[in-house]
Amino acid sequence: MSDNMRNNVRDNMGHMNNQLTQEMRDLARELLASGEVKGLFGWTKGSRWYLTPPVFITKPEEADRLCYDEFAVNNLTGLLLDFRDSQDKIAVFVKGCDSRGIVRLVQDNQLKRENIVVIGVPCPGMGDKGAVTDHRQAQELPLLAKCLECRYPNPVLADRTIGAVTVTTEPSAAPSGATAEAAKGRGVGSKEADRFAQVEAIEKMSPDERYAFWQAQNKKCIRCYACRNICPACNCRECIFDSDKKNWVNKAATPTDNAFFGITRAMHVAGRCVECGECERVCPMDIPIMAMNRKLIGDLNELFGPYDAGVKADEKPPLGAFKLDDPEEFM
Amino acid sequence: MSAVDEKKVNAAGQPDPNWEPNIVGFACNWCTYAGADLAGLSRMQYPPNVKLIRVPCSGRANPQFVLRAFQKGADGVLVAGCHPGDCHYATGNYFTRRRFLLFQRLLEFSGIDPRRFQARWISGAEAPKFRDVVTQMAEEVKALGPNRKLREEL
Amino acid sequence: MKAFPKDKLTAVLDTLAKQATLWVPAIVAGVSRFAPYGPGREVQLGANTVMSPKEALFPATEKIYEYSAYGIDGEFTPVDPSVGPQILFGLRSCDMQGILCLDDVFLTRGYVDDYYAKKREEATLVTLGCVTPGPDCFCYAMGVNPAEHAASDAQLFDLGDAYGIVARTAKGEALVSALETAGLLSESDKAPLPTGDFVLKVDAEGITEKLQHMFDHPLWDAFSRKCLNCGACAYICPTCHCFDISDKKRNAHCGIKIKCWDTCMYSEYALMAGGHNPRPSKKERVRQRFMHKLRYFPERYGKLQCTGCGRCIAKCPVNLEITDVIQQVREAKIDG
């Protein structure tokens, strides 16, 4: 691509973002002014050009703080858990991947569906801020790996939408709405087939190599629990890792105690992980957490039939159900 | 971890011919525990390597139990309960089956030999099966050597 | 000043590694942190580390004693806090300042933490002047000079193709003379490269005084709404020093006591034995974090408990940036 074309693409993206941001603000203002919702989770522009972090607003005049662009990467659905005991109606903006978090929370009885206004937004694919070289000036960024592997670029449910996005539970559907062209051009979903590549690479190792690989990762873990806290599937009111008084777990951050955490976390979200990839994105130590999750997803598909968590609210997660003729290896 | 670590070694790092594996067994109260009891009552001989922990249902044994056992020094873990269809709580063992089919694969993915974690269906009448399972598992784990993986440091 | 060419760095590190455990900034399993130098260590002096160097003096998990108790007979075996001589090489000014904050907590006011004190006493701190501030750096606003730090034992300066070294204390002189004996130092008249421009602009003037009137301010609600209450910020911070004493039981009678990092971000942190939690929600925890850094600590020890290293800004999953907190606190209106 020539510099000129690149600038054009960026201008187009900028234009589109402005329009979506405007739609977002108008809708938020309407919802808050009418009193339909008490508060709203969205994104706002952060301190640098490549940051678009979450924001919570409660007044119509705050709607102008909202912003949407290819850095609005945070899945906001986990933040709704602060309202699980509240009767207040809250609105939340969701991209395709995020929307599955809503299904997760509703299915887990953490939120009442009627207490949330879900607003679907089209997604252009999120830029990888790790590739930023100039922190002062906007530049073209590659997509995050999770966006290249995306299978649900469109919201699976929504009460309202902006940017003419299509709501669909169809996997691998083409990106729709205002950012459809940008998403396709940037390669959203183009590496869908690769999402198990890392799992396969690890499976090819010998058992000792695998153990050494995970030990090296577990050695890095600082037990900050960012992976747990951002996850819509990690929604227990009391997590076993929040208390060491029962002597189940320990605050000691040794590799094997961390392995206990890592493996337990993975098993607890098995069959419920909505693949938003946020756990891995927020890990300050760059631990490949999704490899663990994907391993479980692949095996569940193989053992009990294909299943995508957080897509259809009336389908039970595989570990919450059984069939009489499930595979029998134990005897 | 080197291959040497995986072999039976004593405190001095020398192979220890007297080493015996330490296996933790989670046994369902209604079937397997009764089966083990019957094996004892019938004076069946089986290796003493398996320490049984009675749980109300094999579905009560959750993955943390298994991990904790490995952390605390188990060389192998067995979860055993009623045959599918025989669960005292009607469906508990169907959930166990799904969960541990998956968990065994996850442990393998984490570098743990799947032979170190096994699940079996043993009814209250199957004392010979209990004996055989325990004997076989003790032999298998003995052949694998001591488990150092996931073992608690400090 | 005395200097060694950059291509002699390995020789310098090899020499120092013979004297003591040498901690260097390095990439370990994909993450930059301070780690003991040795064969194959991927040293990285160009940018500051993701993990702060506090783990060399204040490990994330540390065994402090073993105990056994059978009936009335108890036995107690303390663990020697010494780890032998250590050199921390290539600390940035912000992290040196962070160690001064830890010193205040663990060594002053009549409370001495033996486990920290011993390691601190055994450590030689070698700082490196910053040339290119990172994208999240703002040490200048926290009263830290990125070019050098007066409290270090020895100071390194980037001279372009060489590192200049100046000893500031007896420990530093011993280190420099060891390098001299090894024939690695020569005299250089070059001036240190100047520190470049900072991306982040912030002014913390008067922040402590302002916060004294803001305990009940609605700003804390706003900040906490997006916070995940994870501990990433605290655990990578060079000044966060909270820890918990916990135990690992071997059986009903014996076990070990460990000292391990803890953070005010966690719900269990302030939970009392009776079940009451004075910081029941995110709001109180978020407030505590920033109040501690910007108000309580300066009130007690006379310095900010933030050194502007920017780690929490770089790694916060929701971009709850302390610079933004400072900015908004300064702009906030106070009623009455």
**Taking the C-alpha atoms of A166, A168, A173 and A179 in order, what is their torsion angle to the nearest 10 degrees?**
30
Return the pLDDT at C336.
54
* Interchain pair C317, A226: CB under 8 A: yes
A135 closest CB neighbour out of C199, C235, C323? C199
Q: At which residue do the structure tokens 């490549």 appear?
A: A50
- A-chain residues near C320 (CB < 8 A): 53
Q: Is the pLDDT of residue C11 over 60?
A: yes
**Among B residues 123-152, those touching chain C with beta carbons less than 8 Å apart:** 152
Size of interface A-C (CB pairs under 8 A): 112
- Give CA B68 to chain center in angstroms: 13
* Interchain pair A260, B153: CB under 8 A: no
Name the minimum distance, in Å, from the CA of A293 to any CA of chain B.
Answer: 10
Name the minimum distance, in Å, from the CA of A26 to any CA of chain C.
Answer: 21
List pLDDT tens digits, range A153-196.
999 999 999 999 999 999 999 999 999 999 999 999 999 999 99
Q: What's the token pair of residue C218?
A: 């609605």
Tell me whether B11 touches chain C (CB under 8 Å).
no
**Among A residues 68-127, those touching chain B with beta carbons less than 8 Å apart:** none
Report phi then psi at C208, rounded to 5.
Answer: -65, -45
A284 closest CB neighbour out of C50, C225, C244? C50
Q: How far is CA A277 from CA A190, A272, A299, in A?
A: 16, 13, 18
**Among C residues 45-84, those touching chain B with beta carbons less than 8 Å apart:** 61, 63
Task: List the chains bordering chain A where 3 or more Cβ pairs fall under 8 Å.
Answer: B, C
DSSP state of A63: G
* Interchain pair C63, B154: CB under 8 A: yes
Burial of A249 (0-12, 13-18, 19+ CB in 10 A): buried
Q: What pTM does this model have? A: 0.94
Three-state SS string over C238-305 comes to CCCCCEEEEEEECCCCEEEEEEEECCCCCCCCCCCCCCCCCCCCHHHHHHHHHHHHHHHHHHHHCCCC
List pLDDT tens digits, range C16-72.
999 999 999 999 999 999 999 999 999 999 999 999 999 999 999 999 999 999 888
* Interchain pair A46, C30: CB under 8 A: no
Q: In terms of CATH, what superfamily is B20-143? A: Lumazine/riboflavin synthase (3.40.50.960)
Return the pLDDT at A5.
57
- Amino acid of residue A221: C
Return the pLDDT at A250.
80
Percentage of chain A exceeding pLDDT 70:
97
* Interchain pair A222, C232: CB under 8 A: yes
Return the pLDDT at B4.
42
Q: Is the pLDDT of residue B5 over 60?
A: no
Name the minimum distance, in Å, from the CA of C17 to any CA of chain A.
Answer: 23
Interaxial angle between packed helices A255-268 and B63-71, expressed in degrees from 0 to 180 and rounded to the nearest 10: 170
pLDDT band at C315 (very low <50, low <70, confident <90, very high): very high
- A-chain residues near C236 (CB < 8 A): 222, 284
How many residues in total does chain A contain? 331
Return the pLDDT at C273.
87
Return the pLDDT at C33.
96
Strand ranges, E, within chain A: 39-43, 54-57, 90-94, 116-120, 160-161
Q: Are A28 and A40 in contact (CB under 8 A)?
A: yes
Return the pLDDT at A330.
81
Tell me whether B90 touches chain A (CB under 8 Å).
no
* Interchain pair A259, B110: CB under 8 A: yes
CA-based nearest residue in chain C for residue A252? C61
pLDDT band at C261 (very low <50, low <70, confident <90, very high): very high
Q: What's the token pair of residue C82?
A: 């010494």
Burial of C102 (0-12, 13-18, 19+ CB in 10 A): buried
Q: Is A311 helix (H, G, I), strand (E, B) or coil?
A: coil
Tell me whether B154 touches chain A (CB under 8 Å).
yes
Tell me whether B20 touches chain A (CB under 8 Å).
no
* Interchain pair A282, C199: CB under 8 A: no
CA-based nearest residue in chain C for residue B72? C250
Average pLDDT rounded to a whole number, residues A37-50: 96
* Interchain pair A254, B151: CB under 8 A: no
Tell me whether A299 touches chain B (CB under 8 Å).
yes
Percentage of chain C exceeding pLDDT 70:
100
* Interchain pair C318, A51: CB under 8 A: no
- A-chain residues near C249 (CB < 8 A): 247
- B-chain residues near A203 (CB < 8 A): 109
Average pLDDT rounded to a whole number, residues C161-176: 96
Q: Is B110 helix (H, G, I), strand (E, B) or coil?
A: coil
Q: Is the pLDDT of residue B9 over 80?
A: no
Return the pLDDT at B3.
41
Q: In whole angstroms, what is the distance from residue B75 CA to residue B2 CA?
A: 17
The torsion region of residue C160 among left (phi > 0), alpha (psi -120 to 50) and beta comes to left
Q: Is the pLDDT of residue A288 over 60?
A: yes
- Amino acid of residue A17: N
- A-chain residues near C234 (CB < 8 A): 224
Mean pLDDT of chain B, nearest integer: 91
List pLDDT tens digits, range B58-78.
999 999 999 999 999 999 999
Tell me whether B153 touches chain C (CB under 8 Å).
no
- A-chain residues near C230 (CB < 8 A): 224-226, 228-230, 282
**Among A residues 181-210, those touching chain C with beta carbons less than 8 Å apart:** none
Cβ-based neighbour number of residue A4 at 10 Å? 8
Cβ-based neighbour number of residue A28 at 10 Å? 24
Q: Are A322 and B94 in contact (CB under 8 A)?
A: yes
pLDDT band at B2 (very low <50, low <70, confident <90, very high): very low
Return the pLDDT at B153.
85
- A-chain residues near B1 (CB < 8 A): 208, 211-212
Q: At which residue do the structure tokens 């060491």 appear?
A: A244
List pLDDT tens digits, range C264-313.
999 989 999 898 999 999 999 999 999 999 999 999 999 999 999 999 99
Q: Is A225 helix (H, G, I), strand (E, B) or coil?
A: coil
Return the pLDDT at B11.
58
Report phi then psi at A204, rounded to 5.
Answer: -75, -20
Question: Which one of B151, B152, B153, B154 makes the best mutation probe of the C interface by having the most chain C beta carbons within 10 Å?
Answer: B154
Return the pLDDT at A2.
54
Name the minimum distance, in Å, from the CA of C317 to any CA of chain A.
Answer: 5
Q: In whole angstroms, what is the distance from residue C207 CA to residue C218 CA?
A: 17
Q: Is the pLDDT of residue B95 over 70?
A: yes
Q: In whole angstroms, what is the distance from residue C11 CA to residue C21 CA?
A: 15
* Interchain pair A252, B154: CB under 8 A: yes
Percentage of chain B exceeding pLDDT 90:
86
Q: Is the pLDDT of residue A37 over 70?
A: yes
Closest listed residue to residue B46, CA positions, set B79, B67, B23: B23
A224 closest CB neighbour out of C29, C31, C235? C235
